[in-house]
Amino acid sequence: MNIIFLGAPGAGKGTQAEIIADKYNIPTISTGNIIREALKNGTEMGLKAKAFIEAGQLVPDEVVIGIIKERLAKGDCENGFILDGFPRTIPQAEALDSMGIVIDKVVDIDVPDEAIAERMTGRRVCPDCGASYHLINKKPVKEGICDSCGATLVQRKDDAPETVADRLKVYHDQTEPLKGYYDGTGKLRTVEGLGSVADITAKVVKALED
């Protein structure tokens, strides 16, 4: 099954994508993670993306379309995949179509802006292993320290309050129109993204089977 997770940044797409990927035994592909990894490794693509990502702006379409083309060509995508954070613009969705990729379901995780802002500004991540925590909802055992590898947790630059406001604006202006794009194909399912992770997962599974 080829699945897209839509929704504002911080709506919980990543968490759900990981859970569903495990359940269906297919890879989850997060353009945000791929870009952050490139940034960390100082590759040419990472350098190109740096200013955009730190300002909460979208990385240019041709860069992310290139990333996705390369990733989807790998063998592990043969039995399906989950796209988390791609497409984020209409031209990106059109690029998928023109690559001949058939999408089975598009799950939109819907969370009000105020809840998103609270989640994102409270998020803390491990710079070494990538594990994600939250000051209120998912505290590490020892404050400020990664449970998995012991590194000191940091706030992503793009999770700072002023950048979060910009990211939400970018989402409403450029990504939300994708709902209309996919609604027209009959593949869009909307899931309310408030509540426990388990409850939301149950709704996502139902939406995928429906």
> Does 81 sit near ligand AMP (CB under 6 A)?
no
Hey, what amino acid is at 97? D
Specify whether 189 is catalytic: no
> Does 193 sit near ligand AMP (CB under 6 A)?
no
The token duo for 171 is 């989402």
**Cβ proximity of 121 and 160 under 8 Å:** yes
> Does 85 sit near ligand AMP (CB under 6 A)?
yes
Q: Closer CB to ligand AMP, residue 108 or residue 158?
A: 158
CA distance 208 to 51: 36
Specify whether 139 is catalytic: no
Hey, what amino acid is at 84? D
> Does 35 sit near ligand AMP (CB under 6 A)?
yes
Other beta carbons less than 10 A from residue 181's beta carbon: 17
Binding test (CB under 6 A) with ligand AMP, winner from 4, 20, 45, 53: 53
Query: What are the angstrom distances between the C-alpha of 161 and each of 33, 118, 149, 200?
Result: 21, 9, 27, 26
Q: Which amino acids are annotated catalytic?
A: 13, 88, 123, 156, 167
Binding site for ligand AMP (CB under 6 A): 9, 30-32, 35, 52-53, 56-59, 64, 85-86, 88, 92, 158, 167
